Chains A and B, each alone.
Chain A
Amino acid sequence: MNSERSDPGPYAIVIGLEVHVQLKTASKLFCGCSTQFGAEPNTQTCPVCLGLPGSLPVMNRRAFELALRTAVALQCQIPEYTKWDRKNYFYPDLPKGYQISQFDLPMSHSGWLEIADPKGEFPVRSIRIRRAHLEEDAGKSLHDEASGKADSRIDLNRTGTPLLEIVSEPDLRSPREARAYLNELKLLLEYLEVSDCNMQEGSLRVDANINLHLADAAGGMVATPIVEVKNMNSFRAVERALAYEAERQFAAWRETGRTIAEVPKSTRGWDDQRQATFAQRQKEESSDYRYFPDPDLVPVTVSVSAVDAVRAALGELPAATRQRLESAYRLNAYDADVIVNQGRQFIAYFEQVAQRCGDGKLASNWVTQEVLRILNSAGGTIDRFPISADGLGELIEGVRGGQVPSSRSKELFGAMFSEGLSLAAALRKLGIQALDAGALEQLCRQLLTENPRIVADVKSGKAQAAGALVGLAKKKNANVNPAEVREICARLIAEMP
């Protein structure tokens, strides 16, 4: 099955995404326990997140601030009044027997996120955000569900970690758009510094709802049953799972003709090994969560001025940065996208390089090719990159001004990277010395004196004979600029009697 397909097939795909983002707080949503990932099981717990009798939750203000920042950046409406609700269900990793969440009055709703494909595979689209609300995470169950025999193990370290659930409208029309949405959302969250967005550690989780709209025999529109796809551990997996699921639903519809009216929503998991979705066992109890307002917590009020203050403090968001880079540094959309997708620090690095060297396009080439190549292959982040933005800017500036031979610029870059040298030190190390105009002319005069035959050849009209002079000049001094040698020698020969 080809997940890269761009042909939508004889149907329209309708996708909505639910993204759970773990907010970057030091402590949990309703108690003081650490949210650090990877600790020994059940070591980051207290009476509150264990749900011990008599314990009570108290809201972590920081979590609310991070959620608010995100919601404002997603252009959401922020109601002045929001409250906490209990979602009641029994599960061993849910020690209180309910999850504290937000039901009918979420802290934000009705926003949007713009997605674009830099390669132009789909037009720029605005994806509506239905709502974003805060809730506490459950614990982790480690067990063999299939056999039902082995003992289950439960780790409650994660219980009570703050999550922001961001629910999109079903506006996405292809698996590729879904992936672009996730990329853009992740980028935004990282920009806002509200989440680590690490799917492996579970700080970003994606569930996808998908079905197809297709034309029936009578020319009307029918929809296939909605499927919620879970267990996808990368954006690539999301894209593939959705592509698989679209084709599976189409095949199922052709075979059975069953529509959304006949089949309730079901849940399927994504098997990364088999590259296929599979039907998951439905939860034992019906999904009547008996939501009601949590009487242990007080509603939260958010003033208009508080929202304005958050908005004012947001800074430049990715979409705006792309546009600015395109106009301020004359970058094309693709390059601007590549730079912006690397995050705030990388953009700052690029801008510093561009300002130092005075050429945005050259700076872009260097950072998106040389710098990114190393970061991608060696890993690491731009803040630890051994060549400072000023150092790289100086190098590019030297190449532009001719002080640094462009033929050896990559060599210099390599030395600056691997040995952490400044440009000057790298030049010394490689024995590269910029020659001043007087010294170069002196060298050329000497060459001409020593090679009268070549001079004679040139004078007799064999212009290509001058090429040999460049080679000889390089032997005398590796730093000579061939073009300059050619030019000076031509002038001197012309001046000769």
Chain B
Amino acid sequence: MMGLTFWFRRFSENNAVAGLARLDAIQLQQMLRTGQISSLELVDALLEQYAAWEPRVGAFLNFRADQARDQARELDRRRSAGADLGLLAGLPVSVKDILCTVDYPTTCGSRMLRDYHSPFDATVVARIRDAGGIVFGKTNLDEFAMGSSTENSALAVTRNPWNTEHVPGGSSGGGAASVSAGICPLAIGTDTGGSIRQPAAFCGISGLKPTYGRVSRYGLVAFASSLDQAGPMARSVPELALLLEAIAGHDPRDATSAPNEVPSYSHTIAEPLRGLRIGIVPDHFDAGLDAEVDAAVREALGAFRARGATVREIELPASRQAIATYYVIAPCEASSNLARYDGVHFGHRSTERDRTDESPLARLYCRSRAEGLGAEVKRRIMLGTYALSSGYYEAYYLQAMRVRRLIRDELLAAFQSVDVIVGPTTPAPAYRLGEKANDPLSMYLEDLYTVSANLAGIPALSVPCGLSRSGLPIGLQIQAAPFAEELLLRAGAMYQQVTDWHQRRPAA
């Protein structure tokens, strides 16, 4: 507690430090490099932001101020000793609590793993540390990333900083809220069907789901292995480029990670795009789309046109089956990936014993899983188990895999004639807490515009493009061809050069 008083006093004494939480990672990095501020001063400024916002927002599941300050001190020491600290030198990054960390529990927002400590760092986390980044707490999420509102977390409630009656989106809701509230400039989320882009849209920040294989999945606790991808969240696109550059690249521990070279995203980000060819999908603008979102997206298209972009309509008929396809494949993989949470080797084990039971082992499994896993997780395990069962496999899993191939082929074909596909990230702005909690189907429809990118493995970005009359952010989704992150980020940055939605902040 002495530490707390210390940093409050120090903060108020140092004017150079005032307002640090309003600066973006690029500006902070510059100030750190030139010695205008120290890493510790930055961390302390953000701790004040944490103290102000966290009680209202609840972005974090575990947060250790002392640990962050220790890491900052160590970075300052190394910097003054002349060490090259790397791309993220001194920058705090919050990490979604589904990525393994040696210095924090990795709970996945589940009772099952409430006390689980991983013996290793996820490759993404190791790369953040190697690049001089500071792991700034573990953020809340829907249990095992299954959900679109963070309401499925078994451990905490996270609220939207723009209106705490509303959800932050999900499943990376904690990460989105942590950046939106100015607690940290950068966050790592994961995206299986929209879990970076949708909370980014709801919280008025930027978020990127990279190409499948661009970022290592080692240490990302699996929900749906063929769809999961970790990615950066920040207020602006250039910050996304910086964080992506730090975490991307081949990892020998992940057989599905791509060997492709990592471009220097942060260096090419400001290069303007001439004659950008934009595709829009009429389906994205049908009756299901909220009128305010519709208007904001059309206005954004106008901003692109004003910068010389052309816009044409493209048809993606197979993508109409994307939600159905996704909700077969993702639960199938989840049912297998989550089988290991059986109470035997790690995680929650039921203490209930009944020696008279004919099969104590089956009882241990059933009770441990019944007690440790939440309703949505169970629902998806049951869906997947059913769909993979003998007699149903062909009709569900195999059929879904065939449609997935069609969706991918049709998107790849579309990228022959357009550079990016632009549309809304979500059908509507953030809804109220509890509004859809008992309606899983309408919750699944939140992923309407986002799941295709996961099924096809392509990169997709969400950037803020407006505010509703009730003051809630609206997101614009931009998708590109596999490994076209450079183009995608430049398109996003170009949009942010002529708009200021990404600079808007929730009222304190």
Contacts and interface: CB of A to CB of B under 8 A. Distances in A.
Interface of A: 47, 50-59, 86, 88, 90, 92, 95-98, 148-149, 154, 284, 288, 290-292, 295-298
9 contacts: A47-B120, A52-B346, A53-B221, A54-B221, A58-B255, A88-B339, A290-B336, A295-B226, A297-B255
Contacts of B252: 58
Interface in B350-400: 355, 359-362, 365, 385, 388-390, 393, 397
Given A54-B220, A149-B355, A298-B255, A98 B106 contact: no
A98 B222 CA distance: 14
A340 to B, nearest CB: 41
Given A47-B119, A95-B344, A54 B339 contact: no
Interface string B237-271: 00000000000000011111000000000000000
Contacts of A148: 360
Contacts of A295: 224-226, 256, 333
B222 A54 contact: yes
A97 B342 contact: yes
B98 to A, nearest CB: 8
B155 to A, nearest CB: 16
A290 B385 contact: yes
Main secondary structure of the interface of B (DSSP, over half): loop
A486 B99 CA distance: 95
B389 A54 contact: no
B390 A54 contact: no
A305 B93 CA distance: 49
Nearest to B227: A295
B77 interface: no
A58 B255 CA distance: 6
A96 B222 CA distance: 12
B116 interface: yes
B218 A54 contact: yes
Contacts of A90: 339, 342, 365
- Across the A-B interface, the 6 shortest Cβ-Cβ residue pairs: A97-B339, A295-B226, A290-B388, A295-B225, A54-B219, A53-B221
B225 A55 contact: no
A53 B226 CA distance: 16
B253 A92 contact: no
A47 B106 CA distance: 14
B461 to A, nearest CB: 24
A288 B387 CA distance: 12
Contacts of A149: 355
Given A292-B388, A295-B225, A56 B255 contact: yes
Most buried by B among A86, A90, A284: A90
Interface in B210-229: 217-222, 224-226
A53 B345 CA distance: 11
B385 A55 contact: no
A288 B218 contact: no
A96 B339 contact: yes
Nearest to A84: B255
B345 A50 contact: yes
A59 B252 CA distance: 11
A95 B388 contact: no
A288 to B, nearest CB: 5
Contact of A296 (B119, B255, B332, B390): B255
Given A54-B222, A56-B218, A284 B359 contact: yes
Given A59-B255, A96-B340, 16 more contacts: A47-B120, A51-B340, A52-B346, A54-B120, A54-B219, A54-B220, A56-B217, A56-B253, A57-B255, A58-B253, A90-B339, A97-B336, A97-B340, A97-B342, A154-B344, A290-B388
B221 A288 contact: no
A297 to B, nearest CB: 5
B489 interface: no
A292 B346 contact: no
Interface residues of B, number: 47
A290 B332 CA distance: 9
A88 B365 contact: no
Contacts of A290: 335-336, 385, 388-390, 393
B118 interface: yes
A292 B389 CA distance: 10
A52 B218 contact: no
Nearest to B347: A53
A385 B225 CA distance: 55
A296 B389 contact: no
A52 B344 contact: no
A53 B390 contact: no
A43 to B, nearest CB: 15
A50 B116 CA distance: 14
Contacts of B344: 92, 95, 154
B91 interface: no
Contacts of B397: 292
A288 B390 contact: yes
B156 interface: no
Given A88-B339, A296-B225, A56 B389 contact: no
Contacts of A297: 255-256
Contacts of A98: 336, 339
A284 B336 contact: no
Contacts of B256: 295-298
B113 interface: yes
Contacts of A47: 118-120
Contacts of B106: 53-54
Contacts of A50: 345
Contacts of B355: 149
A295 B361 CA distance: 29
A24 B99 CA distance: 35
Contacts of B342: 90, 97
Nearest to A286: B390
Contacts of B108: 53
B408 to A, nearest CB: 15
A86 B254 CA distance: 17
A397 to B, nearest CB: 57
B340 to A, nearest CB: 5
Nearest to B254: A56
Contacts of B336: 86, 88, 97-98, 290, 292
Contacts of A88: 335-336, 339, 388
A47 B221 CA distance: 12
A332 B274 CA distance: 85
B118 A288 contact: no
A159 to B, nearest CB: 10
B386 to A, nearest CB: 10
B61 interface: no
A54 B100 contact: yes
A152 to B, nearest CB: 8
A397 B219 CA distance: 68
B255 A95 contact: no
B122 interface: yes
A166 B99 CA distance: 39
A52 B118 contact: yes
Contact of A52 (B99, B119, B390): B119
A92 B340 contact: no
Most buried by B among A53, A88, A92: A53
A285 B256 CA distance: 32
B255 A53 contact: no
A292 B100 contact: no
